[in-house]
Amino acid sequence: MPSVWKRLLVGRPLKTAQSSEERLSKRAALAVFSSDALSSVAYATEEILFVLVAAGAAGLSFSLPIAALITGLMIVVVLSYGQTIRAYPSGGGAYTVAKDNLGQVPSLVAGWSLLIDYVLTVAVSVSAGVAAITSAVPSLYPERVAVGVLVIVLITVANLRGIRESAQVFAVPTYMFIFSMVGLVVVGIWQWAMGTLPPPGAGAMSRPLEAATAFLLLRGFAAGCTALTGIEAISNGVTSFKRPEAKNARTTLYMMGVILGFLFIGVTVLARVLHVAPAEGETVVSQIARAVFGHGGAYYFIQAATAMILLLAANTSYAGFPKLASILAHDKVLPVQLVNQGDRLVYSNGILVLAALSSLLVIGFAGDTHKLIPLYAVGVFIGFSMSQLGMVKKWLTEKSDGWRRGVVLNGVGGAATAVVLAVIVFSKFLHGAWAVLAIIPLGVAVSLGIKRHYTQLRTRLSLDEERSIPVAKEHYTILFVGDIHKGTVAAVRYAKSLQPTHIKALHISFDDQDAGEIREKWNRWGMDIPLIIAPSPYRELVGILLHYIREIERQHPHAAITVIVTEFICPHWWQLLLHNHTAARIKQELLHEHVAVVSVPIQLV
Amino acid sequence: MPSVWKRLLVGRPLKTAQSSEERLSKRAALAVFSSDALSSVAYATEEILFVLVAAGAAGLSFSLPIAALITGLMIVVVLSYGQTIRAYPSGGGAYTVAKDNLGQVPSLVAGWSLLIDYVLTVAVSVSAGVAAITSAVPSLYPERVAVGVLVIVLITVANLRGIRESAQVFAVPTYMFIFSMVGLVVVGIWQWAMGTLPPPGAGAMSRPLEAATAFLLLRGFAAGCTALTGIEAISNGVTSFKRPEAKNARTTLYMMGVILGFLFIGVTVLARVLHVAPAEGETVVSQIARAVFGHGGAYYFIQAATAMILLLAANTSYAGFPKLASILAHDKVLPVQLVNQGDRLVYSNGILVLAALSSLLVIGFAGDTHKLIPLYAVGVFIGFSMSQLGMVKKWLTEKSDGWRRGVVLNGVGGAATAVVLAVIVFSKFLHGAWAVLAIIPLGVAVSLGIKRHYTQLRTRLSLDEERSIPVAKEHYTILFVGDIHKGTVAAVRYAKSLQPTHIKALHISFDDQDAGEIREKWNRWGMDIPLIIAPSPYRELVGILLHYIREIERQHPHAAITVIVTEFICPHWWQLLLHNHTAARIKQELLHEHVAVVSVPIQLV
């Protein structure tokens, strides 16, 4: 990217020393870390209803028991992560916990699950955020894919510039969302209790397509489990809290759990009493808000807050994915390029990979949250299970303070999330979960291959067994000569200034007639460098050059060899199409030989 | 392309000296040069009917007068080219004639017209050839585009291998076609005269859509003028004839003209008396052949011969296009890559360009001959006119033997073809002729730009005003050092073997901590080359390196500068994704400086 554009887009570079971290109060931390978890309130209830509606009104009546079950699970998971925070005050993501306690392959399974999950968080949150917007502004509905991709592009640019994770930025939309949703639930239930809630609309309830079988209910449950995504965020960010970090983090986690549970149950209750069914073009939350508040300012406030927290949730992946990728790359199980920080101290490569993958998902799934959901949650629950399992192992091994409580809570959490994972995989396998289950082992295999490559490289390049440097006694230089012009003269001049001991010029001749002419010009311009004219009856270049190199190597096995080529540099790109690029070709092909190639550039400005 | 595949596909390389030419008898030459012209019999009549059918039966009744007019034009053009052969016994294509007599821009107009025409010849001939096949084997009809592209690929591979233009290869299908078509016309007209011709089928005659206006008749005439395409081929190949070349070539041209005229008129007469109308999925010739011979062996023989001569016609462009492109490239109005002959002594680049463009046309126009026809003929007739105009100029200037006859014949030819060109452009402008008229000036402009670039290059590189070579007195070498490992040691060893007078190693440090470590390792492995450790607070590489280079340039303006980098060479392509490619990046960026870069490759096999 030309520098000017890059500067405009991502801003001035920042110094490495400028990276710092601010410590967060509990209130600020709740805003920073809970957007992913809380935002799932915007779609979790709808996803349950979306499955159950296939069994008509009878199906929908199961929504509340399912939501209650999920809330119970939520409590277990929150308590489990409370234990993780206790044991990993320095931040314990599933990858770290699994690596420390379970070994490489389980840690890679957890790592890849989380990477996939981050990508899906962006795709799902952006799709749901766009759905919140298009519910309020239906005319945008046909353009939802374009809007979604545009949103991803904006978030990406913002992150490439490096958003400072200041609490202010996060606090406004997060507390707007909490405030407006709590208001919705309280006012809605009050109206219902008073009997002033408007009667349910005719609704778009279609006839039941299937019976409310156990399998359907399992699918509904699995769909609703997306409500749990993002709970782990606080345990990854313990170091950002004010002292005492672990205690504050745990308190914040429990606060978040309470809010999340209340909102999820509240929205599900309102959907039930209002007989809301999922509809194309309008979300369940939008339908509820319209019923409770009418089509006025309060309604639009809720839609705006919902859209904003969902975009914030997508944004948290932009911190999490590149950071995790960088940790994996540092452990040599992903390409090293992901370790690097860009101009603005952010992991630019990771950000770009995340943006590309999530955009592809939004486009591929036409920005439809319902279609993305079956892929989601699988990764999350693999992460949950691995993390809890690792914790149980850790408690049992270390027997540190309070290990019994830890084993019980993490054991129950691990067992519960493992069972739910099985349910999710079983019930959503054909709807897309298979894809995630296929990618994870593939990813693990790729990571192991990458690790092997870097390890081999390290061994091969190690200087540990090296004793001293034998310097090549002789140095042979070949000056590759095409036509003879000013560029050639520059190369001759350059070659002479190297003061080489053994140098020969080589011209490869396609036809005998021009050989004489070259010889004559060389006598004038060649500065006494001996010229070999090699005939090439098959009009080949590199092969003949290689032949001469091999001959030198055979006669002087320990000599260093250098080939000098001239390379034209054109000021305009289209002029590249007008040249044979012999120099570039020779450079490329000789890379695979034990030969150094010098390119003497000739500017054609 | 890996060498093994290339060998399998195109065969062993041929020596330059192996290029030779066989001299052709008149009978052989007719086969070699007339496939393009004669093959148009397969579609020219149909294209006339295709236009006229819009005016129903009334329209179709004009087909014979139009065909007669076109045949008259054909006679004029054949006689004109007879004069061209007389004046250019060494082969006079429109480009050569225009360049010699009219100047650069007219010659480029002619050249681009011909290039476009060659591409269209392939697209039209292949589409028509596939139509002949799918008329006989209707089940292939839905796959016509794929079949067309496959045919182009096969012709391309054959030409990359280098078809020897042996008369045998051409003679069989050409004479098969002549024989079978003459048979069809003679038998058909005999049956008609005897009254034994089967009564015309019900036909798919739709109701007239428009009146038989003058404009419609002009369009029909323009469409039929495709019958004239390919007549110029013999005049390009005079040198291939046995002695006396010009006389033999002229005789062959007249023979071809007679056969072409007879077949064209004959097919049109039969179409008229059989009331054949163009139908989707079956060609006019196929309908006639079925009516005359029934659905037996003779019918399939005609279809096969038609398909084969059309593919031969496409093949002639594979000789013409690359050869013309090579002539233009030699004149520096097209990229020099087109001058080169490949391994098999063919102009591989030209062949590949032709294959790509004609495939795009076949795909873009869905293999539909009718849609391609309006684009065709424009280029042909521009070529005809330019060539005849150039000839008139030549006769008038040189006043050589028989110049009066030349002026008259070429003058009439030039005027007639210019008028027809105007008719074609006028009547088919909206149907696609505009595209050709837009491309030609664009092409001319591109060619002039290319010529300007090469001329500037030549001037800039010219040694004419150079007197002697001032050798740089000093040579500064910078050894770029990343981590210190075996690769670095190899680079140090290489640098030392150059015995440089001024050398410094440069390490660019992103963080202060590793600087100490690098310094310590360097003391052990650096062989007394002084090491500069440059801090890069913004994690930048090339910028810092450039800064040091500029400093040297400032202090020693006449010194030569060399930068040495190490470059890892991985055995597998996917391993490329696992490295930062710092060396490649430095090489690329420093190309634009007056600095030579040496790459010391480190094989990681």
Q: Which amino acid makes up residue B529? A: I
CB within 8 Å: B497 and A484: no
Phi, psi for residue B202 in degrees, rounded to 5: -60, -35
Q: Are B288 and B270 in contact (CB under 8 A)?
A: yes
| Residues of chain B found within 8 Å of residue A564, distances taken between Cβ atoms | 596
Is the CA virtual torsion B429, B435, B438, B443 positive or negative?
negative
> Is A349 buried (19+), middle (13-18) or exposed (0-12) by CB count in 10 A?
buried
Q: What is the DSSP letter of B282?
A: B
Phi, psi for residue B532 in degrees, rounded to 5: -100, 130
Prediction pTM value? 0.70
Q: What is the DSSP letter of B471?
A: P
CB within 8 Å: B578 and A450: yes
Residue reference for tokens 């452990």: A331
CB within 8 Å: B577 and A340: no
pLDDT of A520 strictly over 90: no
The per-residue pLDDT for A207 is 63
Q: What is the pLDDT of residues A353-380, one digit of tens each?
A: 999 999 999 998 888 888 888 888 888 8
A-chain residue closest to B601, CA distance: A591
Q: What span, in angstroms and rounded, lies between the C-alpha atoms of B217 and B147?
A: 33
The per-residue pLDDT for A353 is 92
B596-603 sheet: strands from edge to edge: A531-535, A502-509, A475-481, A560-569, A596-603, B596-603, B560-569, B475-481, B502-509, B531-535
Q: Cα(first)–Cα(last) distance of chain B, in Å?
A: 21
Q: Are A253 and A82 in contact (CB under 8 A)?
A: yes
Q: What span, in angstroms and rounded, lies between the C-alpha atoms of A306 and B468?
A: 77
3-state secondary structure of A58: helix
Q: Are A150 and A314 in contact (CB under 8 A)?
A: no
Q: What span, in angstroms and rounded, lies between the C-alpha atoms of B507 and B518?
A: 8
A-chain residue closest to B528, CA distance: A469
Instruction: Give me the percent of chain A exceeding a pLDDT of 90.
Output: 23
Q: What span, in angstroms and rounded, lies between the C-alpha atoms of B138 and B303?
A: 12
**In a mutagenesis test of the B interface, which of A332, A347, A463 is the best target, namely the one with the most B β-carbons within 10 Å?**
A463
CB within 8 Å: A575 and B461: no
Q: What is the pLDDT of residues A37-67, one digit of tens each?
A: 999 999 999 999 998 988 888 888 899 999 9
Of the candidates A14, A569, A596, the beta carbon closest to that of B599 is on A596
The per-residue pLDDT for B512 is 76
Residues 6+ apart with CB under 8 A from A425: A378, A433, A437
Q: What is the pLDDT of residues A91-102, one digit of tens each?
A: 667 888 888 888
Is the CA virtual torsion B244, B250, B254, B255 positive or negative?
positive
The per-residue pLDDT for A1 is 43
Q: What span, in angstroms and rounded, lies between the C-alpha atoms of B310 and A29?
A: 76
Q: How far B234 CA lies from chain A's nearest CA (Å)?
A: 30
Angle, helix B542-555 to helix B582-590, in steps of 10 degrees = 40
The per-residue pLDDT for B1 is 42
B-chain residue closest to A495, CA distance: B471
Q: How far A158 CA lies from chain B's nearest CA (Å)?
A: 19
The per-residue pLDDT for B96 is 84
Q: What span, in angstroms and rounded, lies between the C-alpha atoms of B360 and B363?
A: 5
| Residues of chain B found within 8 Å of residue A575, distances taken between Cβ atoms | 453
Q: Among the ranges A241-250, A578-587, B284-293, which has the highest mean pLDDT value? A: B284-293
Q: Tokens representing A227?
A: 């409500």
CB within 8 Å: A591 and B601: yes
CB within 8 Å: B604 and A496: no
A-chain residue closest to B332, CA distance: A578
Question: CA–CA distance from A163 to each of A17, A168, A261, A313 (Å)?
Answer: 17, 12, 30, 14
CB within 8 Å: A525 and B469: yes
| Residues of chain B under the 70 pLDDT cut | 1-22, 91-92, 162-169, 199-208, 342-346, 466-472, 605
The per-residue pLDDT for A485 is 86
Q: What is the pLDDT of residues A413-469, one digit of tens each?
A: 888 889 888 888 888 887 888 888 889 999 999 999 999 988 888 888 887 776 666
Report the run of H or E that residue A506 belongs to, with start and end. Answer: strand A502-509
Q: What is the pLDDT of residues A549-560, one digit of tens each?
A: 999 889 988 888
A-chain residue closest to B560, CA distance: A494
Q: What is the pLDDT of residues A68-86, one digit of tens each?
A: 999 999 998 898 888 888 8
Q: What span, in angstroms and rounded, lies between the C-alpha atoms of B589 and B593?
A: 8
Average pLDDT (A184-211) is 75
pLDDT of A205 strictly over 60: no
Q: How far A151 CA lies from chain B's nearest CA (Å)?
A: 29
pLDDT of A201 strictly over 60: no
Residue ranges of alpha helices (H) inside A242-368 are 245-273, 284-293, 297-330, 348-364
Q: Tokens representing A4?
A: 């000017």
CB within 8 Å: A539 and B340: yes
Q: Which amino acid makes up residue B592? A: H
A-chain residue closest to B521, CA distance: A463
| Residues of chain B found within 8 Å of residue A457, distances taken between Cβ atoms | 568, 604
Q: How far A261 CA lies from chain B's nearest CA (Å)?
A: 44
**In a mutagenesis test of the A interface, which of B465, B469, B580 is the best target, namely the one with the most A β-carbons within 10 Å?**
B469
How long a stretch of residues is chain A? 605
Q: What span, in angstroms and rounded, lies between the C-alpha atoms of A491 and A497?
A: 10
HSE, side-chain direction, 13 A CA sphere, residue B554: 6
- Count of CB atoms situated within 10 Å of the CB of A358: 29
The per-residue pLDDT for B57 is 81
CB within 8 Å: B591 and A575: no
Which residues is B509 bridged to in the sheet?
A: B535
pLDDT of A202 strictly over 50: no
Q: What span, in angstroms and rounded, lies between the C-alpha atoms of B92 and A148?
A: 62
Question: CA–CA distance from B525 to each of A293, B493, B503, B567 (Å)?
Answer: 76, 10, 15, 19
Of the candidates B460, B461, B560, the beta carbon closest to that of A497 is on B560
HSE, side-chain direction, 13 A CA sphere, residue B106: 18
A-chain residue closest to B458, CA distance: A485
- The answer to whether the bond into A278 is cis (omega within 30° of 0) is no
Q: How far A558 CA lies from chain B's nearest CA (Å)?
A: 11
How long a stretch of residues is chain B? 605
Q: How far B424 CA lies from chain A's nearest CA (Å)?
A: 35
